[in-house]
């Protein structure tokens, strides 16, 4: 079709006007648009360790005040999004308000009990267990009364937080929720409730899960040697756990630390049990990047023989390869772990000191 000169001039003029408007307006748009639109990715506050998500109006009106405080308290303590915990409580028993069997006493047809609907076998074998007892399960004493009671909201919510953390939260909440109740429709429903409960409308992931926070950790290392250790360790994030693994494709808890020190030119013991007595003990509060933090990890382990270890990457944070079902290697908090037994500094072991001297002066 042949355009007249007048129509062609009109089209060119309109295009020019649109271009002028775009040029004038775009700086304003960039100034006002959210960071995730302006620069292509969500801006991460690497110092935000509280994982605070504001409560939406719907959450405030729907969740009983006692339950809301428990979700927030135990979510923060364990390191799980409170709104995910609250969404599980809503989906399972409407925050304990359901009158169905198994909520306040007994079990339902599937054998689940309490406001967070634990299988009694998963809880610990009995509905009520003295907190001092040894058991395999998620039974917890959330209110300090000395009893882990599956029907007590404080106890049940703390147990649920531990179970979600154990299975991938806060980084991989979908995996954690699937383990909680093995149905993807359940996962979708809980996530939708969690989004409604959050004022932001999303399920936030803590900043330590972001690779954007790796560089500040390396830059803050107390020495170039520690920086090399951290750089290697952080590069392993996202790889799977494998018992006995020392890389390069998978690691166990002590294996990734052993490999990180090796990448910096240092040799330390391979296993958790041998790493614990190797380093010089460090008082809590005096730990620094490059130190190791140890945990009691169940049967066969103790305060004198811990079974799990993480690498301190900054105050309160560690890199760890936790277990096969716990999700990939990640940076997480060690301060919320009540089974922590202590810190050590391998760099102060006499053998390592000699290795460092040789690295600095190969002629020795």
- For the chain, give every domain's residue range: 57-197, 211-359
Compute φ and ψ for 202, nearest 5 degrees.
Answer: -135, 165
Three-class DSSP category at 305: strand
Residue 34 has a pLDDT of: 30
CATH number belonging to domain 57-197: 1.10.530.10
Q: Distance (Å, rounded) from C-alpha 207 to C-alpha 42? A: 11
Question: Look-up: residue for tokens 């690498």?
Answer: 311
Count of CB atoms situated within 10 Å of the CB of 237: 18
Q: What is the pTM of this model?
A: 0.62
pLDDT < 70 regions, the chain:
1-52, 206-210, 325
166-182 pLDDT, tens digit per residue, is 888 887 899 899 999 99
Question: Contacts by 354-360 with C-beta closer than 8 Å and gap 24+?
Answer: 355/265, 355/266, 355/267, 356/225, 356/266, 359/225, 359/265, 359/266
Q: Which CATH class is domain 211-359?
A: alpha beta
**What is the maximum alpha-carbon separation in the chain?**
91
Distances 152 to 68, 84, 148, 238, 299 between C-alpha atoms, Å: 14, 19, 8, 36, 27
Q: Distance (Å, rounded) from C-alpha 357 to C-alpha 340? A: 32
Three-class DSSP category at 42: coil
228-283 pLDDT, tens digit per residue, is 999 999 999 888 899 999 999 999 999 999 999 999 999 999 999 999 999 999 99
Contact 59, 197 (CB under 8 A): yes
Q: Distance (Å, rounded) from C-alpha 360 to C-alpha 226? A: 14
Residue 46 has a pLDDT of: 66
């Amino acid at each position: 079709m042949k355009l007249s000169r007048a129509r062609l001039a009109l089209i060119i003029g309109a295009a020019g006007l649109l271009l002028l408007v775009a040029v004038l307006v775009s700086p304003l748009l960039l100034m006002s648009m959210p960071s995730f639109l302006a620069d292509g990715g969500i801006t991460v506050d690497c110092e935000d360790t509280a994982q605070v998500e504001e409560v939406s109006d719907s959450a405030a009106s729907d969740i009983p005040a006692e339950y809301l405080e428990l979700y927030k308290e135990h979510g923060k303590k364990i390191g799980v999004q409170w709104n995910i915990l609250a969404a599980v409580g809503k989906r399972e028993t409407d925050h304990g308000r359901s009158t169905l069997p198994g909520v306040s006493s007994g079990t339902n047809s599937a054998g689940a009990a309490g406001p967070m609907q634990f299988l009694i076998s998963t809880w610990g074998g009995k509905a009520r267990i003295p907190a001092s007892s040894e058991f395999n399960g998620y039974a917890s004493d959330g209110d300090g009364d000395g009893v882990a009671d599956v029907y007590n909201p404080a106890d049940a919510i703390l147990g649920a937080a531990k179970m979600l953390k154990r299975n991938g939260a806060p980084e991989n909440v979908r995996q954690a929720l699937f383990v909680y109740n093995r149905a993807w429709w359940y996962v979708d429903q809980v996530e939708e409730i969690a989004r409604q409960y959050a004022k932001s409308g999303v399920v936030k992931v803590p900043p330590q899960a972001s690779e954007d926070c790796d560089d500040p950790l390396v830059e803050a290392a107390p020495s170039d040697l520690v920086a090399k250790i951290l750089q290697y360790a952080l590069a392993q994030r996202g790889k799977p756990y494998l018992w006995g693994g020392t890389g390069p494709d998978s690691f166990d808890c002590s294996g990734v630390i052993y490999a990180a020190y090796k990448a910096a030119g240092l040799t330390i013991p391979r296993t958790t049990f041998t790493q614990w007595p190797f380093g010089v003990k460090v008082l809590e509060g005096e730990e620094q990047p490059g130190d190791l933090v140890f945990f009691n990890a169940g049967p066969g382990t103790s305060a004198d023989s811990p079974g799990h270890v993480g690498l301190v990457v900054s105050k309160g944070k560690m890199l760890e390869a936790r277990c096969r079902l716990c999700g990939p290697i990640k940076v997480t908090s060690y301060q919320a772990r009540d089974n922590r037994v202590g810190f050590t500094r391998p760099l102060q072991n006499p053998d390592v000191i000699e290795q460092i001297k040789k690295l600095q002066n190969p002629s020795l």
